[in-house]
Structure 1
Amino acid sequence: MKALWTLNPYFWRYKWLLLSGVFFVLLSSAFSVFPAVYIREAFDEVAAAISGQGASNTERSLDLKHALILYSALILGLSIIKGLFTFLMRQTLIVMSRHMEYDLKNAIYAHYQKLDLAFYRRNSTGDLMNRISEDVSRTRMYIGPALMYTLNTAFATGITLFFMFSVDVKLSLLTLAPMPFLVWCIYRVFTLINQRSHAVQAQQSAISTLAQETFSGLRVLKAFGLEEEQTERYADSASRSFQQNERLYRVNALFMPLMLLLVGASTLIAVWVGGQGVIEGRLSPGVIAEFIYYVNLLTWPIASIGWVMSMVQRAEASMQRINDFLHVEPAIQNRAEARVPEHIRGEIVFENVSYTYPDSGIQALKHFSARIAPGETIVVVGKTGSGKSTLGLLLNRLMDPTKGRILVDGLDIREWDVDALRKAVGTVPQDAFLFSDSIAENIAFGTLEADRSLVESYAELAYVAEDVRGFPKGFDTVVGERGVTLSGGQKQRVSIARALIKQPPMLVLDDALSAVDTDTEVNILSGLRERIAGVTALLITQRLSCVHLADRIYVLDEGVLVQEGTHSSLVQVPGIYAELYTLQNPDA
């Protein structure tokens, strides 16, 4: 139960809903028991009338009629009051569980966003989604229904047993004899249900993953003509899901017959033993009806013990999974007195920076040192895996250097407020990710001041406005999941417009134009050169078509800065840069 203790602060936050719920459970349980007394008295009145005791037949009939009307009204009134308190019980405890579910999901989501890239490399997206959805839902079942039924079982059982034993101890003990066996059977059934439910959910996840991969890679499947084979794979997975569901339904089918059998056994005992008590004169006939009512009243609370135990076990496992991630400390955090500079010039200094990826052990940068003056444009080139993209990730402080430090305007970026630093750097990553929203909203992402005219002006700057206006809905076109409705080049240009509209003092373009043709790339970068005057720009690329825009060029090889200079100087010196230039410009 230790994992569930982490929910205590949430219970304290909603303590008044919790206390109110407990109070309403007590009242609901009490008013559910009281009708039994009036049922007994009503049956006794009928038995007395049938036996012919007391007044004349006419008077007995009239008195019986009045008595039954009175008892019916009392029972109906108590049932209405019980229903009211049951409603209030659910409105407090279940609503409290929904509030806590909402808070827990928000806490997990906020924590996810604080975690570093290494965490996301170690954990799959599906697992992250499952913990914030399925695991939180299972935890809510403990917070709400499990808690509610536990309280209801405790109060209802306690009050009912008090009434039963106050009437007759022997009859109470014999009537309750099958109940422990009922609890054990229900627990075993629900344990099997949980085990088979997990198997069903696992297979359902496999089906969903297969379907998602199929739809995402549909072009590849069609290109290789493998639609039938993939359909057979899906049918095979669906067949396994059907078999798992069939095993689950067979166990589910045991629940109600088993419960009715054991309830019937308790009812039979109440009638048999109670009937003997009536014959002996020890009990009144109404006691039999009263105990049948008690048996039915106790059935669900006692049967729910096994269900509640199962829910608690599942919630414990789910909360442990949630805590595993909530207890991960973000590698990138603000220091106690993080600074937010009022004015940012954009000077960037790398001092002996090294970085080794923790999971793979690959050293991406080795003792890299450089100074970029405010407003300077630097082009970083090198072969694949030379560490170019790592520079952009470190500057954005998506990860911290293993050794060395990075300074912006003379201040170590670890002293900066993380949000302020990232807002100061406009970044276009290699993977041009777009949200499933309109093109205008994607461009305006990250700034609250952007109106339509500003969005369109930056779309013009990124050479994507003409393409967008060609769509039926123009800038209101929804791009679909991950921008699937746009070409690779269009996505990259929308990403550039999104980065520039923030008007950042520093800009990182990480191979941001790899999907556009060379002429378009030159046009875009030439236009940028005019518009980003005064902006410190870091252009990371493998293509050398933009090098004429650079104030300086850095050449990386296996994480080491091997060459530095202008295009005209580097092309004349034997080395990696000259090799790349010759390969890309064979006629030069």
Structure 2
Amino acid sequence: MGLLALKRYLPYMRPYLGLVVVFGVAQLGSLAAAASIPKVIQYIIDGPITHHQLGQLVPMAGLLVLVGLLEFVFIYLRRNYSGIASLRMETDLRNDFYAHLQNLQVSFHDNWQSGQLLSRAISDIATVRRFVSFGLIWFLQTFVTFVVVFVLMIGLDWVLALVVVACMLPIAYFSRKFHHRYKLIARRLQDQQGDLTTIIEEMATGVRIIKAFGRMPLMQKRFESQGRLLRGTSLEGIKTRAQLWTRLNFLPNLSLVAVLLLGGFNVIQGHLTIGGLVAFMSYVFMLTWPMDAIGWVLSMSEECQTASERLNEVLDSRPEIADRPAATALERCSGRIEFRGVGFKYPKSDEWILRDLNLTIEPGETVGIVGRTGSGKTTLAYLVPRLYDVAEGQVLVDGIDVRDLQLRSLRTHIGVAFEDPILFSASVHENLVMGRPIVSDEELKRAIDVAQAGFVWDLPWGLETRVGEQGYTLSGGQRQRLALARAVLGSPPVLVLDDPLSSVDVH
């Protein structure tokens, strides 16, 4: 179940093997300390108490306190270091997931809801981490506890031990039945969480349109409808878990009754001491929490398996636009662009957007392309920085097919500004440089002057003013001017502009 699903993600724990060893040793130490307490109690009852040796009671009580303190220390180490290791694993996994999302082609993002990707990047990765740090540890703890306690029980009375095992056999049946039912619920629940995230994200980004058209009640109705679906699935999951936990909680009580009756009979017959019976019952009590934990671990395991499957759906997607094995770097670029017999249609579509297109743009030449809506102007702009690949023909930069160039190298020579000016929740300066190497103040000023974006100097903190998500603290025209300034910054040899001034007033 969850253990098999984790096969792909457990290697993320390899860098933290030292921490894993520490909490593994601490886990065994805490179990050894817990298992020794009933033996000490048995010794006290059958020794000092039975023989009225009051002088040995205090030292034995001190031994119990010492063992309890050791168990406390081991539990602290286990929880602390397992939490540290799992959180570091979660961070590495989330970083790789984000990097993979960035490497995937634009067409992949066209076909995925942003809310589904968000829920995978946040909720599903957190679910995997929770199972590693808690569920997996408790699974191992439960297994080892059963083995150790069973061995100790056999040492006290093998018949009673077999009785306890017989009382636990229904666990396999209940667990299998739970697995088949809950895995469907877990998948539906996490998919619905992604759908709800999508609705919230769409509301947040489209709040102006929603308010302008007075569609708040409609969006509220959509949200509440999806919320009811999520609530119904959650309640179904709660009911399924409650049924399992109720049955599992009954088994230790059943075994306790059997042990009390048969053990009491053995004490009367002289086959077992009172201390041995107390120790045996203490071991039965030690199984009570693992029995409770089985239901919890099983539910976490199913959720982890579902989360892993959802993550794999993204991680198994291979980038269709990537560097070829023999791709070369474009050290210098004169800016010559050629479309040679280009044809293009979008993925999962049979309609040709461009067909048999031939166009050459010489260095220093400016070409404007006009046409009706949907004629492929924006698509043409996407092909130069290789946001999409042509279906036929070639796009060449300085006589080299763009597919034979390293993507990073190609895109460093191209400046782009699209009609929709995407700005990030950062400062004006950060939006302009976009992580480029150090840019001089003169270059920044020149780019701002070219785009006529001098309004930035009047902002409260100048270039360090944060523009908010999507740049909505600025007007549409101001956003487009900043996007244009970003495109021309550094004087790229190739400048691709797709109606970047549609919201700018003509002066």
Please report the TM-score for the alignment, with normalisation by the length of structure 1.
0.77
Q: 1:85 — aligned with what?
A: 74
Does structure 1 residue 377 correspond to structure 2 residue 369? no
Q: 2:502 — aligned with what?
A: 514
Q: 2:404 — aligned with what?
A: 415
Q: 1:292 — aligned with what?
A: 281
Q: 1:557 — aligned with what?
A: none
Q: 1:529 — aligned with what?
A: none
Gaps of 5+ in 2: none
* Residues 20 and 218 of structure 1, relative CA distance in 2, 3 Å threshold: closer
Q: Deviation per CA, 1:521-546, whole angstroms, max 9, x where unpaired?
A: xxxxxxxxxxxxxxxxxxxxxxxxxx
Does structure 1 residue 114 correspond to structure 2 residue 103? yes
Q: 2:167 — aligned with what?
A: 178
Q: What is the alpha-carbon distance in structure 2 between the residues aligned to residue 289 and residue 436 of structure 1? A: 65
Q: Which amino acid aligns with 2:168?
A: M
| Sequence identity percentage | 32
Q: 1:430 — aligned with what?
A: 419
Q: 1:264 — aligned with what?
A: 253
**Structure 1 range deviating more: 99-108 or 173-182:** 173-182
Match of 1:485 among 473, 476, 487: 473
SS at match of 2:321: coil
Deviation at 1:391, TM superposition (A): 2.0
Q: Which amino acid aligns with 2:333?
A: I
SS at match of 1:150: helix
Deviation at 1:86, TM superposition (A): 2.6
Q: Which amino acid aligns with 1:122?
A: N
SS at match of 2:86: helix
Deviation at 1:232, TM superposition (A): 5.1
Does structure 1 residue 346 correspond to structure 2 residue 335? yes
* Residues 337 and 212 of structure 1, relative CA distance in 2, 3 Å threshold: closer
* Residues 197 and 30 of structure 1, relative CA distance in 2, 3 Å threshold: same
Deviation at 1:491, TM superposition (A): 0.9
Q: 1:496 — aligned with what?
A: 484
SS at match of 2:422: coil
Q: What is the alpha-carbon distance in structure 2 between the residues aligned to residue 303 and residue 186 of structure 1? A: 13
Q: Deviation per CA, 1:235-290, whole angstroms, max 9, x where unpaired?
A: 55555555555555556666776555443333333332222222111111112221
* Residues 465 and 241 of structure 1, relative CA distance in 2, 3 Å threshold: same
Q: What is the alpha-carbon distance in structure 2 between the residues aligned to residue 237 and residue 418 of structure 1? A: 40
For these two proteins, the number of residue pairs brought into alignment is 505
Q: Deviation per CA, 1:51-96, whole angstroms, max 9, x where unpaired?
A: xxxxxxxxx4xx32x3222222212212222222233333444433
Q: Which amino acid aligns with 2:133?
A: G
Gaps of 5+ in 1: 50-59, 520-588
CA contact (8 A) 2:340 2:359 kept: yes
Does structure 1 residue 160 correspond to structure 2 residue 162? no
**Structure 1 range deviating more: 87-96 or 498-507:** 87-96
Q: What is the alpha-carbon distance in structure 2 between the residues aligned to residue 228 and residue 410 of structure 1? A: 56
CA RMSD, 1 decimal:
3.0
* Residues 240 and 400 of structure 1, relative CA distance in 2, 3 Å threshold: closer
SS at match of 2:169: helix
Q: 1:522 — aligned with what?
A: none
CA contact (8 A) 2:245 2:295 kept: no
SS at match of 1:379: coil
Q: What is the alpha-carbon distance in structure 2 between the residues aligned to residue 226 and residue 344 of structure 1? A: 50
Deviation at 1:446, TM superposition (A): 3.6
* Residues 455 and 312 of structure 1, relative CA distance in 2, 3 Å threshold: same
Deviation at 1:141, TM superposition (A): 3.4
Does structure 1 residue 394 correspond to structure 2 residue 396? no
* Residues 227 and 386 of structure 1, relative CA distance in 2, 3 Å threshold: closer
Q: What is the alpha-carbon distance in structure 2 between the residues aligned to residue 189 and residue 402 of structure 1? A: 49
Q: What is the alpha-carbon distance in structure 2 between the residues aligned to residue 110 and residue 314 of structure 1? A: 24
CA contact (8 A) 1:447 1:502 kept: no
Deviation at 1:514, TM superposition (A): 0.9
* Residues 104 and 215 of structure 1, relative CA distance in 2, 3 Å threshold: closer
* Residues 428 and 225 of structure 1, relative CA distance in 2, 3 Å threshold: closer
Q: Deviation per CA, 1:170-194, whole angstroms, max 9, x where unpaired?
A: 2222344433335655776787777
Q: 1:30 — aligned with what?
A: 32
Q: Which amino acid aligns with 1:403?
A: E
Deviation at 1:369, TM superposition (A): 1.7
Q: Which amino acid aligns with 1:516?
A: V
